[in-house]
Structure 1
Amino acid sequence: MKNNSISKKDLRKNRGGIYSIFFILAVILSSVSCVFDDGAQIVSGPYKNLSIYHINDAHSHLTQAKDGATKKYYGGASRLKTLLNKTRSSESIVLAAGDLVQGTLFYNFFHGAADIETFNAVGLDAFCLGNHEFDGGVDSLFNYYSKSSFPVLAANINFKTNPSAAALVKPYTIIEKNGLKIAVIGIDTPQITSDNPKLLNDITISEPALILKQYAVELRSGVDLIIALTHIGYNEDLKLASEIEEVDIIIGGHSHTEVPVPAAVKNKGGICMVAQTGAYLKYLGNLNLKVCPKDLRLAGTPRYIYESGGLDYIGEDITPDPLVESIVSVYEKQIGENVKVKFASTANVLNGNMADNRKSETNLANLFADAIKNLTNADIALINGGNFRESITGPDITYENIYTAAPYDNPVVTIELSGAELIEDFKMTASRYDGDWGGFLQFSKGMKVIYENHAFISAALDGVAIDGARTYKVAMSEYIASGGDGHSIFASKKQDAGAIIKISDAVIGYIKSLPQPIDYRAEGRIVINDPVSNAFKTLLIPYMPPRR
């Protein structure tokens, strides 16, 4: 029988050669980015850990919000900070994808100051502008974001009238973490100027795909990972991910889409992961990656490997961070308890649901439209469905309820329109309503408008058909009168601001004048005869396209 054992002498003799072989193998393995075993991706070699934490569309929800379905409280900046305290490390970054502001009394009272101080304390590595950052105009945007301690990004926005804002807002930033260079490119929605044409004097917005491609190509050779931090909506993010191979990750916002697990989108360069958290600080998003430094990556191997990701619920059981809590409390006390005072009551829930107000008549929209008509003595009052954010559940109605249900507190104005111009605008509305477009019009008492299969059928005031040759006095928000949300027919008309009363003040005064409790209901002011298309929307749309 042959003895295959190795003698100690032979072992000593060959030890040098064996060590040389192991050394060579070690060098080879250290340069291998990954290996594949029956399709499974196994990390080895120089890949480095990177965790991306992200939020979007906080909308000034600095304190907790109440979930209408579960009746439990969630969110709040101080609880977000606690989660980040537990997870943040030298291997992580924190990003915010637009619309930090607008949506609660913190913005109505402080116009961004409360939000910026709070998120400075939370700690962000980068932020891209959203559409609501422009609600107060470019000068206001600069006034509060100039105090931010984090980079403010928007590669596709050109500031024409405010050089200071132009200098403040950068197209991208490069973050160095754990030996990696990470480029973050900001992209905002072109919807800003179509929704608010007055901003055309101050900014121009380029198409996202064109600009993102330009910067991604420019940066690709000098960084290890490229992240597009966008505020254009989930649908558009998926499209960008499929088209722009130089981008590795898209962290998005604007459509308020809760993406439970980041979507993997294939393109020519490999895989692009797309993530979004919904809105109002309900979740903290996370992606955990292995990223290869560019100088160590072998040809044919991926720039990064996605390990895990998802959404962490920011529940009421999380202990608030004391520093952030103290900052928010100071602003909360300044708002004061006066806004929480009951001033009226309601017999019904006043429906401020976002989707409902963008596709059908609601009792809350009826109430607001009637209040505007009552204030102005107009023939007709209009209000856009995108004005509404939350329902008033009752039975008590507080000042805070009004501000929170409809936070876009524009002045009321009147304009004169011919019946033909009204009908033309109603036709445009008929072609666009889908449950997501914020320009869907709601009407004051006496109006009846009928749509069918996205076509305008008829409109009547007090039972009489709208006369194309007659001139009507029409009340609305200054935003809509300026052509906002696509109502371009209104933009050329001379506005009469009257006593310059804000919508909220008009509504509060009107409610106080009514018998209590108020009993507002949907009553057939808007009739939509297209049940088939509505059924398809319910069945086939798993996420929400961009919102105002």
Structure 2
Amino acid sequence: MNYRTNFYRKFLSIAASAALLTSIAVPAVSANMKGVKPGKPYELTLMHTNDTHAHLDTVAKRISAINQVRKENANTLLLDAGDVFSGTLYFNEYLGLADLEFMNLAGYDAMTFGNHEFDKGTATLANFVKDAEFPLISANVNFENDQNMNMLANNEFSAKANDGEVYKGIVKEVNGEKIGIFGLTTAETMDISSPGEGVEFTDYLNEAREAVKAFEEQGINKIIALTHIGLNDGGGDNDLTLAEEVEGIDVIVGGHTHVKLSEPVFVEAGKEPTVIVQANEYGKFLGTLDVKFNKNGRVIEYAGELLDVNNFTEDAKAAEILNKKYKPAVDEMKKTVIGSTTVNLVGGNPAARTGETNLGNLITDGMLAKAKTINPATVIAVQNGGGIRTSVNAGDITMAKVLEVMPFGNSLGIMQLTGAEIKEALEHSVKDAPTAFGGFLQVSGLKFTYESSLPAGQRVKSIEVKEDGVNYVTIDPGKMYTVATNTFTAKGGDGYDVFGKAYSEGRVSEPGFVDWEIFTEYVNAQEGRTVSPTVEGRIINLAN
């Protein structure tokens, strides 16, 4: 059975994709593709995944879909656009190596790094890379000064790439035709993950131009960018800008923004068009793109489709590996009850990213309690709302749910900050309010008011600190306070430059306790291991 229903829909209209992207300006699509020269065309089928985030329960179906597409098409490539790491118990238990076994089994041709590949630092990433039976690529990530990755990294566009090593780009020969593939990773990774000081992120547009030039100098005119920068992401890099600004890229296989592109986006901004695809998230779909090139490497026909993996039966070998090797330990972890709650604990997006929630209060209370056992002077705790991934229903709290709420395994950091720096941080926290922002801070030991109708940076109206643990007093801009957070935020994550400065000046200690461990310990310490947190008015928007 051919599962793909729209093979070679010529000159595909962008209208369907535009409906998904109503908030952005998409370049106009030419009604035809001029300049097509005679000659035998070359047909290629790309399969692609992105942002799978350790969702392995359907991986056997994904492999079945991959096998089906390969069976139906002679010329294929299988690519992953990053963020294999973080998100489920499979990652917490196996740190990406379970995912990797299935990627090796599926026969991936290349993968680029997503920001979450750096969540556990480069030592964990290196373990993943060296066991990969495919190369990893990113033209704008420099590992030269990183002790864990530098021996695996090659600063080149290689026609003879080794599995388990990193390149700027690679050349794949598919049925006699050479395809150039280079990678790009969002520079936001420095703010939203934990790559460490030894990893450098360079300008993605410059690196993309260099990649195209390098491939063209090798006589390659079919070029694919495998990117984790987001389709229309506002963080400083994205696929639409890449397609508009860099000539010579035929296809962009993207990730990061989790967009469900049921139809490819077609951009004609320069001499040649660019087709952009992205396959949503969590391995729900296998993206496919059939593309036809003329003899000069110009895209002349294309058709894209997302294959719902649930429409496929499980691959027997993959299912056996999952069920015997990996799933038992994960299932056992899910059963552990760490305590109970008498109320629904509210987290997730947008709740924890727009205002005070009872789960945010509970998490920061636990963080503050733990920090006090290490440094009794600690009076405040803050937690980025983007790190509170979901809510918890009233009743038993399982370990599975705790790890779902806090999947990144961030460790405790204790900062020394002035009152003025705390105010600066709170201004950053509410800069986008009432729009959701992953850096919105849930708080303990302080309360503050702000007015979202005022200009960003001028919104915070009052701040009070519970210095003695009981009574709130107005914050002193010149006084030094001891503040607990996670090390991701303490190092400047989510754009907290004020925290990053304190970290660089040696004003942050890292005792090493992980967030879900701290939370579990705190719940266990409550009477009857039962919690009933409330919203207390710690964060008040005066504009409401």
TM class by shorter chain equals 0.7 to 0.9
CA distance in 1, matches of 2:344, 2:288: 36
Asked if the contact 2:119–2:194 (Cα under 8 Å) also holds between the matched residues in 1, the reply is no
- CA positional deviation for 1:389: 2.5
2:507 match: secondary structure: coil
> How do 1:223-242 residues align onto structure 2 when only pairs under 5 Å count?
223-235=220-232, 236-242=238-244
Within 1, Cα distance between the matches of 2:97 and 2:172?
Answer: 26
Q: What is the DSSP-based 3-state SS (H/G/I as helix, E as strand, rest coil) of the residue aligned with 1:267?
A: coil
Q: Deviations over 1:416-448 (max 9, x none)?
A: 222122112222333356756432211126523
The amino acid that maps onto 1:121 is L
Task: Name 1:55's counterpart in structure 2.
Answer: 49
Q: Deviations over 1:33-70 (max 9, x none)?
A: x9xxx96679985123211111111111112xxxxxxx
8 A Cα contact 2:223 2:248, kept in partner = yes
Q: After alignment, is 414-423 or 460-469 more displaced?
A: 460-469
Q: Does the alignment pair 1:279 with 2:268?
A: no
Counterpart in the other structure of 2:151: 164
Larger Rg: 1
- Corresponding position of 2:416: 416
Residue deviations 1:172-226, cap 9 Å, x none? 11222244322111001111223457722x1211111110011112213622421
Mapping of residues 83-482 of structure 1, within 5 Å: 83-88=65-70, 89-159=73-143, 160-162=145-147, 163-167=150-154, 168-195=165-192, 199-200=196-197, 202-220=198-216, 222-235=219-232, 236-294=238-296, 303-315=298-310, 318-329=312-323, 330-335=325-330, 337-377=332-372, 378-431=378-431, 435=435, 437-444=437-444, 446-453=446-453, 454=456, 455-462=459-466, 463-482=472-491
With over 3 angstroms needed to count, the CA separation of the structure-2 counterparts of 1:368 and 1:143, relative to structure 1, is same
Could you tell me how far 1:451 is from its partner in structure 2?
Answer: 4.0
Q: Which residue of 2 aligns with 1:540?
A: none
TM-score, L = length of structure 2: 0.80
- Cα distance in 2 for partners of 1:522, 1:79 equals 43
Distance in structure 2 (CA, Å) of the matches to 1:361 and 1:278: 29
Q: Give the counterpart letter for 2:226 in structure 1.
A: L
Q: Which structure features the higher share of helix residues?
A: 1
In 1, distance between residues paired with 2:289 and 2:227? 16
For 1:132 and 1:524, how far apart are their aligned partners in 2? 33
Contact 2:446–2:465 (Cα < 8 Å) also in 1? yes
Aligned residue for 1:539? none
For 1:396, the aligned partner's letter is D
Moved more, 42-51 or 164-173: 42-51
1:503–1:339: structure 2 CA closer, same or farther, 3 Å change rule?
Answer: same
* 1:451–1:528 Cα contact (<8 Å) kept: yes
- Asked if 1:79 corresponds to 2:61, the answer is yes
Q: CA 1:246–1:460 in structure 2 vs 1: closer, same or farther (change >3 Å)? A: same
**Structure 1 residues 261 and 355: alpha-carbon distance in aligned structure 2, compared to 1, 3 A threshold:** farther
Indicate the SS of the match to 2:392: coil
Q: What is the SS of the residue equivalent to 2:46? A: strand
- Cα separation, 2, equivalents of 1:424 and 1:493: 19
Give the match's secondary structure for 2:508. Answer: coil
For 2:79 and 2:266, locate their aligned partners in 1 and report how far apart those are by CA, in whole Å.
19
Whether the 8 Å CA contact 1:224–1:291 is kept in 2: the answer is no
Listed as ranges, the gaps of 5+ residues in structure 2 are 1-10, 12-29, 155-164, 233-237, 373-377, 467-471
The residue type equivalent to 1:161 in the other structure is: D
**In 2 relative to 1, CA 277–357 (structure 1 residues): closer, same or farther, beyond 3 Å?**
farther
Return the TM-score normalized by structure 1: 0.80
> Quick one: structure 1 residues 277 and 348, their matched pair in 2 at CA, closer, same or farther if it must change by over 3 Å?
farther
Q: Deviations over 1:451-496 (max 9, x none)?
A: 4233322222354322213332211112222222222323234334
Select between 150-159 and 254-263 the one with higher mean Cα deviation. Answer: 254-263
CA distance, structure 1, for counterparts of residue 540 and residue 301 of structure 2: 49
Bigger shift: residues 90-99 or 43-52: 43-52
Structure-2 residue corresponding to 1:67: none
Change (3 A) 1:173 1:351: farther
Q: Aligned with 1:78: secondary structure?
A: helix
- The structure-2 alpha-carbon separation of the partners of 1:286 and 1:363, relative to structure 1 and needing over 3 Å to count, comes to farther
Measured after TM superposition, the shift of residue 341 of structure 1 is: 2.5
Deviation at 1:502, TM superposition (A): 1.6
Aligned to 1:535: none
Q: Residues 137 and 197 (structure 1 numbering): CA distance in 2 closer, same or farther, change over 3 Å?
A: closer
Shift of 1:251: 1.0
Task: Return the letter of the residue paired with 2:520.
Answer: I
Judging changes above 3 Å, is the alpha-carbon distance between structure 1 residues 425 and 251 closer, same or farther for their aligned structure 2 residues?
A: same
After superposition, the C-alpha distances for 1:280-305 in whole angstroms (9 at most, x for unaligned) are: 112222211112233xx7xxxxx112
SS in 2 for 1:164: coil
Q: 2:146, 2:338 → 1: CA distance?
A: 43
Give, in whole Å, the separation in 1 of the partners of 2:64 and 2:332: 27
Q: Give 1:369 shift.
A: 0.9
Hey, what's the Cα distance between the residues in 2 that align with 1:199 and 1:379?
A: 28
Q: Report the number of matched residues.
A: 474
Deviations 1:82-109 (A, max 9, x none): 1112112322211100111112222222
Deviation at residue 515 of structure 1 after TM alignment? 5.4
1:382-411 deviation line (CA, Å, top 9, x unaligned): 011221333334533210110121111122
Cα distance per residue 1:128-177 (max 9 Å; x no partner)? 01111122222321122111011100111111233313232101112222
Between 118-127 and 431-440, the greater mean CA deviation after superposition: 431-440
- Give the Cα separation in 2 of the matches to 1:198 and 1:54: 25
Q: Once structures 1 and 2 are overlaid, which stretch shifts more, 338-347 or 144-153?
A: 338-347
CA distance in 2: counterparts of 1:434 and 1:270, whole angstroms:
41
